[in-house]
Structure 1
Amino acid sequence: MAEAERNMHASRLVFVDEVDRDHFLPQELRDSTHIRFGKLAPGHDVPPVIAATLTKLVERITYAKAPDIDLLHAIILTYKSYASSHELLTALIERFQTGGSLEYEEPEDSVMIKFRVLNALKLWVTSGYVDFFDDLSLRDALFGFLKSIAADDSDEPLVKLAIAVSTAYEKTADRFSGPSADAEAYFTSGHHREDSPPPPLLPADFAVVRSLFDLDPLEVARQLTLMEHSAYCRIRLTELMGCAWSKAGREDNSPNVLSAIELFNGISCLFRDAIVSEADVGTRAQAIEFALRVAEGCAKLNNVSSTLAIIASLSATPIHRLKQTWALVEATKRNVRIRANLEALISNEGNYKAYRKMLNKVDPPAVPYLGMWLTDLTFLEDGNPDTTDEGLINFAKYDLIAKVLGDVRQFQLMRYQLVPVELVQDFISGQLKSALDEEEAYRRSLAVEPRTRPAPDINQIADENVKLKETVRALNRKVASLESANKHLESDISSLSSVVSTIRMQLADLAAVHALRNPAAPAAPDQEPTSHEALSPIAPDAAIIRLAGAHHDRASQAYLISAAPSQNPPSGAEDDPVDASASGSGGVSTAADGAGPASSSSARVSHSGFLKKQSGGKTSKWQKRWCVCRDDHLYYYKSQSDSKPAGVVVLHGCTVQAVDKSVWGKDCAFEIYHEQRRTYRFFAADDDERATWMAAITSQTD
């Protein structure tokens, strides 16, 4: 593509967020089955890859017209999470051999694609050299490929680049000290600053050194910095992938991460143990001041890890509780200021906001706090899937991981210009090996500064005595109130017992009456009524008992409602359709029709006929029932021929109202409800029939 065409595409990409992205992007930068792109970031000409297959990732980093260098770096840092070293090398070689054959490529693009592949290999062998050192078969495959290019002298620029890749490998290999060296040398051979190191600050006779406090605090800070930075630089980036340091097999998969963590914890214990081992309060105060000076020296050397370890030791319970010691330390304003500044720097508030800000500005060499990055990686690994729903590599996840790994790697490249002092480092290492456990450290803290109780305050005791007497009086009043309430409760129980006895007598009388009227066993009750309307064992033609309790005067009464009517069986059946010809006007049989319970009972019938009744909640089915409204009750039967009702509604105190179709989905619906009982739902054949029923029922509710 000509330069003018490339500029045209770049200018179009500026408007990606405002219009359809794919309308302006070239074909190779559009979503497809095997690759997906994200939103265009400010200041970038091409969108980032968020998901793809390994083949598509390799294609993307070797595009002839728009290679993605950031993506190449991210792949080299993270590829072992989704591919092996041989798979990546094979994909690059295949791209070299087939470049220019894709539908969006032109034949002349093949030369540029080959250059892209060789440049990718050059970056890999320099920044990821340890991959080839650990796997000799991978190195042999690489050099076999490079030799095949050199053997073809038809394209001199490609041959020169292939030789350059080989040379880059050899220069990186020169960092090793010989055949017996291992990959550790690669990680401990960073660049040094050109300025001369400061001379060590050592006592004239090191033999007099008995404790950490016999050394110069600045020199202790320097040696701690060298020890921590060495441990930090030994960490391979592969040890940080997949949270390997926290999973089974971590000793084999992340040995250097575990060593760095162990050293950090050891430094914290080193200062804690040294302080609690001093019996004299003045000496302990000087020990804390020494620790603050060392922490300050570490901070000036950009050794955040040791600074945090020391401040953490001063905040540990065995040291924090030493009030007498801290009173002497904080008598000096400089000590207070140093501690406050260091605590503000390493505070974890806002996810280490202040520390991250400092880290972005600091120039290496430095020893970062590894724990922050381990936390970041844990959130990225556990909070995001490895693949998308389509089975693509979730590269949005690995791109974020690559940024963290890049930050880690950044501070492994520059070495400190400090003189290692083996005597000091060996002394510190010996102290680390004899660290106390938490329980012993706390025991020693109690031994040097026991718990103390303040002398009793007579005035405070007197005030507490007054409050205690007031509490006792309040409790006595509460007891008297409860005793009074208990007497009232006993009276209520006696009254209720009397009411229950009366009800039982009335039930016995009713049972006897029923036995005389109907000696045969009663039919099984209808399955439809709920607990509020189901008939008792002596129903349906026994009297129904209704209890009404008065709350304030604690009195109760029982009254009887007339027995349910029986019917003479008519000719109609329950399933027969209800129409005007069979049931009178509007499909309703009344007393005037000469059928139903009104014709066989001397009681006054207000209305009768067929209705549809809902058997339960709003989702229950509607069932056709023969209904009779009479004597303050609404009786409903399974069929017009039944002699005993399936249920009965006591209408006294009820309200009847029409219900719109939008509520139940039924025309001509109405409901009968009572504030203290259940609600019954019916619907009639038409609006006139509903009005007739509502008027009949209303007349019976008073």
Structure 2
Amino acid sequence: MSAGDHMSTTKEPRNASSSPTTFFCRALYDYEAPEGSSCLSFLWNDVIEVFTQEPSGWWDGCLARPAGDKRGWFPSNYVTVVSDEEAELSFSDPDAAVPGDPTNTDSAVLPRSEAKNEEGDPTGTSKPSALPSPLQPGLLSSRLHALAEILFDPRGSVRAGTVPALVEYLTAHKQEADQTFFNSFLMTFKSFMTLDDLFNLLVQRFWIQPPSEMAQSEREDWLKRKHDIQSRVLDTFKSMVADDDVLEQDETFIFGWMKEFLTNEEVANFPTAKQLLTLIELVQNGSDNAIEVVPPLLVAESGNQLKPWDIEPLELARQLTITESQLYRGIRPMECLQQAHGSTTDNLSSIAIFIQHTNKIALWVAESILSKEDPWQRARAVEHIVSTADWCRSLNNFSTMTAITSGLNSSLVRRLKRTWEHVDHKHMAMFKTCEETISSDRQFLKYRSLITSVIPPCIPYFGFSYSVLRYVQGLPDLVPAEDGARSILVNFAKRRQAWEVMNDMKRWRVPYNLDAIPSIQARIEEILNSTSSTMDSLYEKSLELEPRAPEDEKMAQLLRESGFS
């Protein structure tokens, strides 16, 4: 059955009740149904519930958001199947924009586009099965590729393009560089090309040749543009070397290639080439040419007594923050991108070590409270821990604050009613503030609003940033060209969003002006490393301390709570 058949057919979509099973899909592109047809129009990223699948590739479905009453036929090559959980997340709260969600118009970076075939018929576009190989080095022209090879959104930002076109734009002869594109490209290029390919394309870009049809009168202007392009190429190499987040340790082989390239006589005449050679030598020798600014220290309070309950909550929060900050600053944004993309992470990676540390804090919280036999003593332990969490919040250490809050909210601690009855109102208010700060309501609305006003240093809630990055990584890698061509373009808007998340994570990598007290640091490490209990054993301990109430007592309690005497 062709698209034209569907446009003219009188066949109507079946009722949902006639379909035994349904599933959900998400729109990869915009689709505008022909006027007067029984087709369904939708926009990029809309969620559709599918009721019928035709062998021709046309599906019958109903929009899940924003309007569930819109239903009709649509081409299946415009969508991708998603899980029920992902669909539920997309339309469970239509008023709440997902952080980093391109459907959020306040921070929209991936505008809606429309794919059409050569006749302008949106129903005739076939979805290519794979990305053609644009990575083979070839001679690049002096201008950008055809319009079909690079797309811009209404704000002028790059939305998509072929790999050669993206490299050309990266090194374009414009007076002002697109810094956002430049930074996004360097941080994410490994998701759509290799380091070898980038090096080869940049070198070819440097040796750009004039078009054969160029008139002699145009040559002088073209040579000026060529010089600007060559300077951009060298600036790109320099940024790759200077930014320690771009190249991994096993990728420093590129320095040898760069040095060989820079020794060419024509290349060596550029001042940037000499600077780049010096910078490569410094990096290879392990030198850091950056000027280190050491801020004045805030002398922490004395901590001579090493029992955890004798360490003041403020001091305990400070020392926990120092350790957590060191671990967070060890996380490389590129590692987050690779992990969010599905790459495996071993237990020695900086991400794994950071997560293990926060898990130890949550376990230590539960274990510490359950170590007290008396409800009153447990209440005092809760108050001490709540005060520590609140000080962490004041220090913008939302990571440790979240770990402590998670430990307090674990079922094995939360069920201790007699313990919580003895916690005073002041500490219960502190605890509520910490809970609300990291509440997941409306896609972490309060936390997102708070973090935008925070001035570094800060340790953000890593789980939130990582989940946003995972969401971005789930967006389509490729988008169709808009000129009727069947080629596929790299979805660069997706990469720009990933860079925005990683750049935000980098923003917080500022050390705290706190003085580490070795005795307390050693004690904290000892405490956290000694938490060997399992959740099952701790839950048994919790039941031992406060057994479940008998059924008749629970019934009496329910009646009392309902107003019956």
Name the counterpart of 1:63. 172
Q: What's the CA shift for 1:167?
A: 3.6
User: Residue 297 in 1 paired to residue 391 in 2?
Assistant: yes
State the secondary structure of the residue aligned to 1:115: helix
User: Residue 161 in 1 paired to residue 268 in 2?
Assistant: no
Q: Which string of whole-angstrom CA distances, capped at 9 and with x for unpartnered residues, describes residues 164-188 of structure 1?
A: 22344455567669xxxxxxxx9xx
Name the counterpart of 1:98. 208
Name the counterpart of 1:658. none
Amino acid at match of 1:355: Y
Whose RCO is larger (CA < 8 A, sep 6+)? Answer: 2
Name the counterpart of 1:271. 365
| Greater gyration radius | 1
Shift in CA distance, 456/373, structure 1 to aligned 2, threshold 3 Å: closer
Name the counterpart of 2:147. 32
Q: In the aligned structure 2, how far is the partner of 1:122 from the partner of 1:393? A: 25
Residues 214-363 of structure 1: pairs in structure 2 closer than 5 A: 214-243=310-339, 247=343, 249-251=344-346, 255-329=349-423, 332-363=424-455
Q: Which string of whole-angstrom CA distances, capped at 9 and with x for unpartnered residues, describes residues 227-274 of structure 1?
A: 211111111222222435855x3218x821111111111111111110
User: Residue 119 in 1 paired to residue 235 in 2?
Assistant: yes
Amino acid at match of 1:72: F
Shift in CA distance, 342/427, structure 1 to aligned 2, threshold 3 Å: same
User: Residue 402 in 1 paired to residue 496 in 2?
Assistant: no
Shift in CA distance, 31/201, structure 1 to aligned 2, threshold 3 Å: farther
Amino acid at match of 1:145: F
Match of 2:460 among 351, 363, 368: 368
Equivalenced residues, count: 404
Match of 1:199 among 294, 300, 303: 300
Indicate conservation of the 8 Å contact 2:317/2:392, yes or no.
Answer: yes
Amino acid at match of 2:276: V
Name the counterpart of 2:71. none
Q: Which string of whole-angstrom CA distances, capped at 9 and with x for unpartnered residues, describes residues 272-298 of structure 1?
A: 110011001111011000111110111
Name the counterpart of 2:508. 411
Aligned CA RMSD, in angstroms, stands at 3.1
Q: In the aligned structure 1, how far is the partner of 2:546 from the partner of 2:291? A: 47
Indicate conservation of the 8 Å contact 2:364/2:528, yes or no.
Answer: yes
Q: What's the CA shift for 1:317?
A: 0.7
Shift in CA distance, 397/457, structure 1 to aligned 2, threshold 3 Å: closer
State the secondary structure of the residue aligned to 1:51: strand
Name the counterpart of 2:189. 79
Q: What's the CA shift for 1:151?
A: 7.1
Name the counterpart of 1:491. none
Shift in CA distance, 347/215, structure 1 to aligned 2, threshold 3 Å: same
Shift in CA distance, 255/151, structure 1 to aligned 2, threshold 3 Å: closer
Q: Where in structure 2 are there 5+ consecutive unaligned residues?
A: 1-110, 112-141, 481-485, 561-565
Percentage identity across paired residues of the two chains: 25
Shift in CA distance, 282/232, structure 1 to aligned 2, threshold 3 Å: same
Residues 519-668 of structure 1: pairs in structure 2 closer than 5 A: none
State the secondary structure of the residue aligned to 2:369: helix
Q: In the aligned structure 1, how far is the partner of 2:200 from the partner of 2:338? A: 24
Amino acid at match of 1:131: L
Q: In the aligned structure 1, how far is the partner of 2:554 from the partner of 2:210? A: 90
Q: TM-score, normalised by structure 1?
A: 0.53
Q: Which string of whole-angstrom CA distances, capped at 9 and with x for unpartnered residues, describes residues 649-692 of structure 1?
A: xxxxxxxxxxxxxxxxxxxxxxxxxxxxxxxxxxxxxxxxxxxx
Shift in CA distance, 367/421, structure 1 to aligned 2, threshold 3 Å: same
Q: In the aligned structure 1, how far is the partner of 2:428 from the partner of 2:144? A: 58
Q: In the aligned structure 1, how far is the partner of 2:363 from the partner of 2:554? A: 35
Q: In the aligned structure 2, how far is the partner of 1:175 from the partner of 1:192? A: 19
Name the counterpart of 2:163. 54
Shift in CA distance, 70/456, structure 1 to aligned 2, threshold 3 Å: closer
Q: In the aligned structure 2, how far is the partner of 1:244 from the partner of 1:455? A: 45
Q: Where in structure 1 are there 5+ consecutive unaligned residues?
A: 1-16, 18-26, 41-46, 178-185, 462-702
Shift in CA distance, 276/221, structure 1 to aligned 2, threshold 3 Å: same
State the secondary structure of the residue aligned to 2:159: strand
Indicate conservation of the 8 Å contact 2:475/2:494, yes or no.
Answer: no
Higher deviation after alignment, 427-436 or 448-457: 448-457
Shift in CA distance, 80/152, structure 1 to aligned 2, threshold 3 Å: closer
Residues 14-29 of structure 1: pairs in structure 2 closer than 5 A: none
Indicate conservation of the 8 Å contact 1:82/1:393, yes or no.
Answer: yes
Q: In the aligned structure 1, how far is the partner of 2:494 from the partner of 2:555? A: 62
Q: Which string of whole-angstrom CA distances, capped at 9 and with x for unpartnered residues, describes residues 187-237 of structure 1?
A: xx996662223234312x54xx3xx21322222211211221111111122
